[in-house]
Amino acid sequence: MDFELSEEQKTWKKIVHDYAEKELRPKAREVDEKEEFNWEAVRKGGPVGLLGLNIPEEYGGSNVDSISNSIAMEELGWGCGSTALAFTAHNGLGTAPIAIFGSEELKKKWLPLVATGMNKLGSLALTEPGAGSDIQGGVLTRAVRDGDEWVINGSKMWNTNASIAEYIITLVRTDPKGGSKSLSMILVPTDAKGLTIHPAEKKMGLRGSPTHAVTYEDVRVPMGYLIGPEGRGLQQTLATLDAGRISIGAISVGLARGAMEAAISYAKERKAFNQSIADFQAIQFKIANMDVEIELARTYIYKASWLKDQGRPYSKEAAIAKLYATEMAERVIYDAIQIHGGFGYSREYHVERMYRDARLMTIGEGTSEINRLVISRQVLAG
């Protein structure tokens, strides 16, 4: 067993940290306040390799290992939750399904386009107004064959990046009879006729990450835009979400770490009863708990990532990593606000935004309840 990052991974951590410190952190509050996407930073992320984390080098990507992906997500989450979410929605959801399951033609046409930062990003639409956790039973968006095209009709909900994407990978029902082989993934360019991307949702947090409802009215795409074999959409989705869960966990670790750092510097400066509040044991214990929880979450995220890198099963470990890290981030940021006292409740202080940003993490890419289901099923099956 080796808990040491490789030299390459340490260098990568520094590169992404420096990028996050320079490009994300300084604008994190502004993008939240103005509900603006930080395009400038994301464009600069292209040459760093942050837009091609899951894209093989032959298609212009950096194709990093899963531990390096987790390292990057933690640093991005530390820098800005909103922009980190856009990065993970692009890499893990918007490009990985093409890189893993797509045809050579799709890879050549779309992956180099979205890896550079010169163009728009990728996105994935699974969720619908009536279906989130229950994708297998609930997805109503239909695709039917017509000659050499698919014709798509339906509605999607909560699509991260839709308005800043070149395409939306869309989970559709291709077999109306239902069952585990009735869903498929189809790439839909965002300029397709009949596709409407609705105005950005007004959200509690992650306000610098655009999220949209999308409707499809007789949208036509070529037959070759099917990703993977017809009827494999559910299995492809579950595999995509396994990896995505590790990334959401890693972003949560980054958010928690940022909040802990803010709490420590505040605690050292703030005086009460003629002493620094960092001298009170009650504050010291909160900080100890934060450190324990962040260390444990990160270590487990690395374990799940390592299993993925070894090509071994990791669904349960990804669910544990996400469940623990996302709920941990809420606890840590809650305490970080507590340490800030009244100022922690003010928009002037970063911890307030971090708290709102972290709230999504126990919901997206599998709620805490669904992750507990994934874990308990495997535990009970022995």
Ligand X SMILES: Cc1cc2nc3c(=O)[nH]c(=O)nc-3n(C[C@H](O)[C@H](O)[C@H](O)COP(=O)(O)OP(=O)(O)OC[C@H]3O[C@@H](n4cnc5c(N)ncnc54)[C@H](O)[C@@H]3O)c2cc1C
Using CB under 6 A, list all residues that contact ligand X. Answer: 89, 93, 123-127, 132-133, 158-160, 203, 206, 211, 360, 363-365, 367, 369-370, 373
CA 274 to chain centre: 44
Q: Which residue has the tokens 């708290």?
A: 355
The kind and range of the H/E element at 151 are: strand 149-160
Q: Which residue has the tokens 């952190």?
A: 25
Chain residue at closest Cβ approach to ligand X: 132
Among residues 211, 255, 337, the alpha carbon closest in space to that of 80 is found at 255
Parallel, antiparallel, or unpaired: how do β-strands 165-173 and 211-222 relate? unpaired
Q: Is 105 a catalytic residue?
A: no
Number of Cβ within 10 Å of residue 63's Cβ equals: 18
From 4, 230, 365, 369, the catalytic residue? 365
Q: Which is nearer to ligand X, 236 or 277 (CB)?
A: 236
Alpha-carbon span 342 to 272, nearest angstrom: 13
Q: Which is nearer to ligand X, 172 or 294 (CB)?
A: 172
Per-position b or e across 271-300, b if 16+ CB within 10 A of its CB:
eeeeeebbeeeebeebbeebeebbeebbeb
Q: Which is nearer to ligand X, 154 or 364 (CB)?
A: 364
Among residues 39, 65, 50, 37, the alpha carbon closest in space to that of 246 is found at 65
Determine contact, residues 201/211, Cβ cutoff 8 Å: yes
Q: Which is nearer to ligand X, 95 or 159 (CB)?
A: 159
Q: Which is nearer to ligand X, 241 or 278 (CB)?
A: 241
Taking the complex as a whole, the smallest distance from the CB of residue 357 to ligand X amounts, in Å, to 10
Q: Which is nearer to ligand X, 139 or 260 (CB)?
A: 139
Taking the complex as a whole, the smallest distance from the CB of residue 241 to ligand X amounts, in Å, to 9
Taking the complex as a whole, the smallest distance from the CB of residue 206 to ligand X amounts, in Å, to 6
Taking the complex as a whole, the smallest distance from the CB of residue 31 to ligand X amounts, in Å, to 14
Q: Which residue has the tokens 């494999």?
A: 232
Per-position b or e across 341-374, b if 16+ CB within 10 A of its CB:
eeebeeeebbbbbbbbbbbbbbbbbbbbebbeeb
Taking the complex as a whole, the smallest distance from the CB of residue 159 to ligand X amounts, in Å, to 5
Which residues belong to the active site? 365
